[in-house]
Structure 1
Amino acid sequence: MADVFEKRNFHISSLFPEILTIIFTHLDVRDKGRACQVCVAWRDAAYNRRVWKGVEAKLHLKRANPSLFPSLVKRGIRRIQVLSLRRTLKDVIVGIQNIESLNISGCFSINDTSISHALTREIPSLKNLNLSLCKQITDRSLEKIAQCLKNLEVLELSGCSNITNIGLLLISWGLKKLKVLNLRSCRHVSDPGIGHLCGVVHNSSQLNALESRPVPGNFELEFLGLQDCQKITDQGMKHVSGGLVNLKQVNLSFCGGITDSGIKFLSKMPSLKDLNLRSCDNVTNAALGYLSEGGSRLEAIDVSFCENVGDQGLHFLAQGMFSLRHLSLGTCNITDEGLLRVVNTLHEIITLDIGQCGQITDKSLCAIGEKWKHLKSIDLYGCTRITTFGLEKIMKLPCLNTLNLGLWHRKEEI
């Protein structure tokens, strides 16, 4: 091939910069960087902003590097993940003034002082901020964020265990465009804080201490993550159902304070598509009944490890959850009877998790193989009563691409 190029006076070095740029757009991030180091012509072509569109730079900010941020700006990189940080966070904000996304998750040295020094002005371009596991930050940081990042759409606070309901009140004032809020394991967050996000005023003395400003709420929220928020109860779900009318996804996994009554409130939300109730110990079959009766348009529901969910719950699902596409039932106390009711009624399921459902047999698998032609993924981990006969039925599904058989042992047919 090289001889052909040479005979026709063609060589890769003769390609127009525009052609090189198109080629470089197809490289992964590491190879893009290597291309920049080959020669001046390649560097100039590779520095075209089209090559780096949507790329997130992953940085170790250990010592001063005067050329780093100008290089990123020249390439049009506006998404930054800080892997380790020994310099100040302000260097990033100043160095990339039109930054769009900043991920500093796991940077344990970040504290309120770091945030305060970095956020000294409004940054309208920043729409995505990830502070997960930055355990030192408190409500003081959220006050600065609410003041300076008014266009923020995504805020990740997983593991920020010093955040309180006051912080959520601050968020409700300043972040009116917020669409994604993750509060996983924020142990001090409780129902009044959720109420703040929904525009509910709970405590007038609390508001007086904070200048009695109105509470607009975060009505644009589409995702709310409350995983392992142990102080959240059904009252919080009442606030959510009344205020967050655009909510599409809510994660309540490991929320022991949520009961069937809380799910009854959520069942009335027409926009809700994805509900995670994994390991909610106080959720029972009745919760699925409420969702079915409420005309729910849920496309995904996870009740894995809910030991009080069984065949009756599946009967409820089959009666009204016709939009369902993703169903997780791992370790639930279900049998072929309940699962068959779902299989015979809901024909559009794409993913199914029945891992460790030890009472499921080939009878269910045969029905699934016959009727669920759109199934792409099935988890049979620990389903020890199935045999190769049932698996053969499953394996014939035209769309199946993921099959988990962990802990399964072959049973010889008699």
Structure 2
Amino acid sequence: MSLQQLPHEVLVNLFSYLGVSDLQVASCVCRLWREVAGILLANRVTVMITDDATPAIETFRSATIPYCNWVFKEVDIHLTCEFRQEWRRVAGGVQYLGLAEEADVTPRELVTLLQSCVSLQRLSLDSLPHLLMPGTLLSDPEDRALLSKSLANVKHLHLACSRYLTDALFTRLTSVVGSLTRLSLAGCQISFQRSLHKRFYPHDREHKHPSEHVLTFTHILKYIEANAHTLKELSFGRTYIDSESLHRLAIVPRLKLESLHLMSCEQLSKSGVQLLCENQPSLTHLDLSLCSRVTDYAVMAIAYHLPHIKSLNLRRCRGITEYGLRALAQLSCLEELNISHLENVTSESVLVALGGGVGNEVTEGITYEGNGRYSLCGVNNKAALADTTNNDSEKNCNDGTEVSANSGKEVARPHLRVLNLASLPLGWQTVAQLPSLAPSLTHLDLSMCVAGVNDKSIQAVCKSLRLLRTLNLNGCMGVSDIGLAGHGLGQREPNITGTGLSLEALGIRERDPLKVSLGSKAEQIIRQEAEVKRYLEANVEEIVKSSEYGLANLAGLRELNLCGCKRMTDITLTHSFSLRELQYLNLSYCQGVGESGLEAVARYCPSLEVVMLEECGNTTDHVVLVFAHYLRRIKTLDLQKCVQLTDDSLDSLSGCRTLRYLDVSGCRRLTLGAVRRVQARIPLLLNLHYRGIQEAGGEEQNGEGVAVSPVASSRIPSPPPLFPKLRRKRGRR
């Protein structure tokens, strides 16, 4: 049976494993594949209309796929007869509609826009001051009755960053949508003080007349109480919610939250987190990132009361120390964990948090002492092993009851998929143990872990974590071709205290105690790194044979960030960079990369869509020509400060019809004429940045198309140019 004879449902199931770019390519094969790919692309692709709504009419007409997701961003929406007619044709299948970042739309136009969206499930009205400021949105009962019928299927409502949202507007918006399962009020100006609520509602306790001047948490809480049986996800990030208000939310009857986002809530303290965990044990996703007052006791409360939590974000919580981080060992069901940018933790505590053993076969347990106090205590390893052989450990909330901890020296986390350890003081031994602790990782962020990422640890990651899809090594200057290419290091552990990158520090050659260096320290480092490069070039065959220890073993990798890895050279890119599924690659500030390495990237990574080469000094016109020839899917190309580029490179890019973003700022040898030619030849190039590009006569450009004198630009900055939207408004006036 040929592929053309397979049932339609089977083809849809097969194509569901492909990404958006692969589906777009598959849709060009034949009519049948185009129909199958269109079914999947309709739900995955979001059509964004910016700057002007007039070209959207052509988009509506030319769209052969019934796209379900539409976003109007920074656009003037004027519902002319032609626009209204085309919108009605596509609005029936729209499932997500977003108006964001000052989209200019009137209340009447919004009603007209929404009344045709009978299949809408998600509505986003983020940062729309011109729409909410007058306070007349949905003030007409007929409009509310009309939208109540068309928006009955809306389950997700996003009102983030709505500065002028009031109780009255909130009541009108929530009255026209269905029973919500997700509500986002992140960044809204919410008043949590009860005294302020009493001022605006001195006698109206039932809120029969919502205020037109303020958005109060008490009013929002009444809506949550009325819809507690359906609400599962809430977002109050970037607000002034305090512990008392969070407690009031947690004790709402019949409310069983599954996800709560509290990012950057500065007033939130440990008591609020504890009361939340005690009253909402059904939570599986919790975001406490950037909450500076969250301390160790809050982490212990999470580990004690939420043993089945799946996603936890503690990024940049400055109050958490190694004492609280050890409590995370209790959470064996974690699938996503973010503990990046914690300043007061150690490498050993991170290892314990991930389920690793600590020295004397003692693991940590949590004891609840009552009155909101928790403590960690040592548990004998044998007793812990006996507890884990039984069923899941039972949790008793009475005073003095101990929860058993993860047992053994190294306890694997089979469910952990996403792990962010950026900017942590990790040792390389801790990073090397990650594959044994979390063998199913698909996303790993080790950016700025300077001491933790070296050749030995990165080889351990590449050898065992074969399911990785995203790997971030930004700023990891200790890794070199030895680790990335997979060259064997022998049995000795690398000496990370050694000076620079040398064969002695890598354990390849014995250190000569009688050898005396007569040059300076800088000369010694340059000489040692040159010896390592010559050694690798002489042992290329061994690199190819040991590919399982390098990046070549991560065949399914899709995003790779090597920004700032200055010790990497063409050897890695040439011999171990055959990543057919790689879509994102960042090689910024990699000064050791040359033409041959970048040409190998273009040849052996055909799926690349985003390439970042900022200050990659060896990027030449030939490299850009090879990119334009081989990378048929490239959408974003960053060439900032690549000083060797000339106008020939831009002429090579003129054939890249898929290019959407190009940055050539700081490329001094380019001219403005070449920039204008590439902009004219690629109509879909929406973002083109060219700061510092000069005209043939010496006039410098500021990147917005305004020519200024080089002398004048250094003294008096030019006024900012008017946006096209403001320019049109001035013309209408």
Bin the TM-score by the shorter chain. 0.7 to 0.9
Alpha-carbon displacement from aligned partner over 1:168-211 (angstroms, at most 9, x marks no partner):
665465153423x3343235667767766877656454537455
- Greater RCO, CA 8 A, separation 6+: 1
Q: Distance in 2 between matches of 1:170 and 1:184?
A: 16
Question: Cα 1:86–1:172, aligned 2, differ >3 Å: closer, same or farther?
Answer: closer
Residue 79 of structure 1: aligned partner: 234
Q: Distance in 2 between matches of 1:301 and 1:369?
A: 22
Residue 471 of structure 2: aligned partner: 250
TM-score normalized with structure 2 length: 0.47
CA-CA distance at 1:288 after TM superposition: 3.0
For residues 280-319 of structure 1, the aligned pairs below 5 Å read 280-289=565-574, 291-293=576-578, 295=579, 297-319=581-603
Partner of 1:403, secondary structure, is strand
Residue 118 of structure 1: aligned partner: 276
Question: Cα 1:377–1:19, aligned 2, differ >3 Å: closer, same or farther?
Answer: same
Alpha-carbon displacement from aligned partner over 1:290-333 (angstroms, at most 9, x marks no partner):
6514x452210112123333323312312311221110011111
Question: Cα 1:220–1:118, aligned 2, differ >3 Å: closer, same or farther?
Answer: same
Is contact 2:256-2:280 (8 Å) kept?
Answer: no
Residue 6 of structure 1: aligned partner: none
Q: Give aligned-pair identity as a percent.
A: 21
Question: Cα 1:211–1:183, aligned 2, differ >3 Å: closer, same or farther?
Answer: same
Partner of 1:367, secondary structure, is helix
Q: Distance in 2 between matches of 1:55 and 1:140?
A: 28
Q: Distance in 2 between matches of 1:21 and 1:193?
A: 55
Residue 63 of structure 1: aligned partner: 193
Residue 263 of structure 2: aligned partner: 105
Q: Distance in 2 between matches of 1:108 and 1:44?
A: 30
CA-CA distance at 1:375 after TM superposition: 1.0
TM-score normalized with structure 1 length: 0.78
Question: Cα 1:355–1:16, aligned 2, differ >3 Å: closer, same or farther?
Answer: closer
Alpha-carbon displacement from aligned partner over 1:357-385 (angstroms, at most 9, x marks no partner):
11111111111112x22111111121121
Q: Distance in 2 between matches of 1:18 and 1:51?
A: 17
Q: Distance in 1 between matches of 2:446 and 2:671?
A: 39
Equivalent in 20, 26, 33 of residue 148 of structure 2: 20
What runs of 5+ residues in structure 2 fail to find an aligned partner? 1-107, 109-138, 195-216, 365-377, 382-405, 419-441, 486-549, 699-733
What runs of 5+ residues in structure 1 fail to find an aligned partner? 3-10
Alpha-carbon displacement from aligned partner over 1:10-68 (angstroms, at most 9, x marks no partner):
x964468364353696997359966x737xxx947833553856441236464235443
CA-CA distance at 1:238 after TM superposition: 4.5
Residue 372 of structure 2: aligned partner: none
CA-CA distance at 1:223 after TM superposition: 3.1
Q: Which has the larger radius of gyration?
A: 2
Q: Distance in 1 between matches of 2:296 and 2:157?
A: 42
Instruction: Find out whether 1:158 has 2:315 as its counterpart.
Output: yes
Is contact 1:56-1:80 (8 Å) kept?
Answer: yes
Q: Distance in 2 between matches of 1:368 and 1:269?
A: 30
CA-based RMSD of the aligned residues comes to: 4.0
CA-CA distance at 1:281 after TM superposition: 3.8
Instruction: Find out whether 1:332 has 2:616 as its counterpart.
Output: yes
Equivalent in 327, 333, 342 of residue 186 of structure 1: 342
**How many residues get paired?**
396
Q: Distance in 1 between matches of 2:191 and 2:310?
A: 26
Residue 37 of structure 1: aligned partner: 168
Question: Cα 1:397–1:169, aligned 2, differ >3 Å: closer, same or farther?
Answer: farther
Residue 216 of structure 1: aligned partner: 412
CA-CA distance at 1:335 after TM superposition: 1.8
Q: Distance in 1 between matches of 2:279 and 2:610?
A: 44
Instruction: Find out whether 1:130 has 2:314 as its counterpart.
Output: no
Question: Cα 1:202–1:314, aligned 2, differ >3 Å: closer, same or farther?
Answer: farther
CA-CA distance at 1:352 after TM superposition: 0.6
Is contact 2:610-2:637 (8 Å) kept?
Answer: yes
Partner of 1:207, secondary structure, is strand
Q: Distance in 2 between matches of 1:311 and 1:253?
A: 22
